[in-house]
A and B are shown apart, each in its own frame.
Chain A
């Protein structure tokens, strides 16, 4: 699944957007998985990662992190993953340092600007193993919503955020019915994985609401 790979945006905006995935491999490193994932939740908290999700079924807007942690410590599905989003380079570095120290043996991927991630890895003393490169969108591109809407919707790579909803929320912001942050949270709730970047969405929605008629 490559749902964090193809986010759209300019480099300055993407510098605040680094989805993370922590993935066990069945039969390889998933012994005591509940314990390991419990430790991961503690590390996310230490690194100040506010939005994350578990097993593509529940995120921290649906349930407090402590409850998710309790739930997964009691029962964890084989192969269940934790996903979330870092909102800056320093946070990625802190996360990787903490994960390295914890030595859980789970695979970790960070999506976002390749050069930034390689640079953070160097700083953290890590050598990346493999990379999935985005070659962008192909096919009948005239079917796509406008780029500024895609910048928001592609933060849920499963396409669960409707372009029409983004437009409707922009109207709500303009009319004063919702703040950009409230609109961003409405969208994030639809991303069960927890990789939608609320902070970045808020920034994108604020000026965009002025452009809607």
Chain B
């Protein structure tokens, strides 16, 4: 975990604003890292902000080692490489999300809020309850059981962000939206929602129409797979 070598710290406070969650504070003229608040993103260390190199990473033991998932440069924290699946990125060659399906991506704790895994559990369970099939190749999935239950020892760990991913049939999207509307009131954090859909040969996007019918605000931003991957999957 991120720690401060007290003998090197001059208490200048330069590192404080770099902390993504406000876990570095000054006590008696020295910087200290609040162990519970710290999400182990290691921005304070990688930024090299400390002129005396007083910040360093010490080894984390399980279950706290799970928190390193907050650092995108670290892979294989949970036995699943990377931080998520290929989401929409390689859908042109995998066909993971087919024409009658929608992908669901819930970025828990983003932006800039952080999240306890107990809140991730609430959202995962809500999605599973309405029939969302959770993606297996995902570090978040590796932490939970098939019904979305997290191990007791990790529930109270806080990470900077983590992604729940799954898919369901397009016709089930209204139930998913209702589930998210319900569970958003139960969590002590924020989450950003992404919904993946296939583009039809005529250029239309059926999922967009479904969301409009549901009167859900779709932001003008999207992430578009432009179809350059080969061999192209037509599923």
A residues adjacent to B (C-beta < 8 A): 1-8, 11, 14, 21, 23-25, 28-29, 56-57, 79, 81, 96, 99-100, 103-115, 117-118, 121, 126-141, 143-145, 150, 153-154, 157-165, 167-168, 189-190, 192-193
Q: Which residues of B contact A134 (CB under 8 A)?
A: 192-194, 218-219, 221-223
What's the nearest-Cβ distance from chain B to residue A136, in Å? Answer: 5
Complex Cα–Cα for A149 and B85 (A): 29
**B224 close to A114 (CB less than 8 A):** yes
Complex Cα–Cα for A96 and B201 (A): 20
Residue from B112, B195, B228 in contact with A108 in the complex, judged by beta carbons closer than 8 Å: B228
The segment out of B29-37, B101-109, B149-157 that lies at the interface is B101-109
Q: Which residues of B contact A121 (CB under 8 A)?
A: 224, 226
What's the nearest-Cβ distance from chain B to residue A190, in Å? Answer: 6
Q: Which residues of A contact B19 (CB under 8 A)?
A: 162, 164
**Could you tell me how many residues of chain B have their Cβ less than 8 Å away from some Cβ of chain A?**
77
CB 8 Å contact bits of B203-226 with A (1 = contact, 0 = none): 101011001000011111111111
The segment out of B4-12, B40-48, B50-58 that lies at the interface is B40-48
**A128 close to B225 (CB less than 8 A):** yes
B22 within 8 A of partner (CB): yes
Q: Which residues of A contact B90 (CB under 8 A)?
A: 23-25, 28, 107
A-B contacts besides A25-B86, A109-B224, A130-B92, 5 pairs, CB < 8 Å = A1-B163, A5-B222, A112-B221, A113-B221, A133-B197
4 A-B pairs with least C-beta separation: A105-B230, A107-B229, A129-B227, A114-B222
**A79 close to B111 (CB less than 8 A):** no
Q: Which residues of A contact B225 (CB under 8 A)?
A: 107-109, 128-131
Main SS at interface, chain B:
loop
Residue from B190, B201, B208, B223 in contact with A141 in the complex, judged by beta carbons closer than 8 Å: B190
Q: List 26 A-B contacts (CB under 8 A).
A: A2-B163, A2-B223, A3-B110, A25-B86, A29-B93, A108-B226, A114-B222, A127-B227, A130-B88, A130-B197, A130-B225, A131-B199, A131-B224, A132-B222, A133-B196, A133-B208, A134-B194, A135-B192, A137-B191, A144-B111, A144-B190, A158-B160, A159-B114, A164-B22, A190-B46, A192-B46
**B20 close to A129 (CB less than 8 A):** no
Q: Which residues of B contact A110 (CB under 8 A)?
A: 223-224, 226
Complex Cα–Cα for A100 and B43 (A): 36
Q: Which residue of A lies closest to B114 (CB)?
A: A159
Q: Which residues of A contact B111 (CB under 8 A)?
A: 6, 8, 137, 144, 150, 153-154, 157, 159
What's the nearest-Cβ distance from chain B to residue A19, in Å? Answer: 8
Complex Cα–Cα for A144 and B203 (A): 36
B171 within 8 A of partner (CB): no
Residue from B22, B87, B184, B199 in contact with A129 in the complex, judged by beta carbons closer than 8 Å: B199
Complex Cα–Cα for A138 and B191 (A): 5
- Given known pairs A29-B93, A29-B230, A165-B17, the reply for A140 and B222 (CB within 8 Å) is no
